[in-house]
Amino acid sequence: HVQLVESGGDSVRAGGSLRLSCAASGYTYNRNCMGWFRQAPGQEREEVAALDSDGSTFYAESVKGRFTISQDSDSAKKILYLQMNSLKPEDTAMYYCAADRPAPLPGGGWCPSLVTTYTFRGQGTQVTV
């Protein structure tokens, strides 16, 4: 049973920084398919960042250069981070950690293309700017 627990959300002023954490338990795969998405009231889910099984990263254009996704240096801990700098009011949203089972894909790779469709997700942590 995979459980994801986010933390680190807060209310900050524009230009400030936050670091979100996501602790994954029961996620015992050798490859990681994990990421972050966010949802603001009345808006659709928006993919923010993803960490692929080969260590490659993806960022939404709106956060590129400001946000950084990473995992704990001890990969066995399965902790995912999202460092958010230069925060803007439009970054205000509930942020969710998400994960999926890695599986070989017909076109190559191991992770589904959209974090917003990942099988497992946490309860979210609120970021207000």
Please tell me the predicted confidence (pLDDT) of residue 72. Answer: 85
Q: Residue 116: pLDDT band by 50, 70, 90 thresholds?
A: very high
Residue range 42-100, pLDDT digits in tens: 999 999 999 988 888 999 999 999 999 999 877 677 899 999 999 999 999 999 999 99
Residues 6+ apart with CB under 8 A from 100: 33, 34, 111, 112, 117, 118, 119, 120
Query: Whole-number mean pLDDT of the chain?
Result: 93
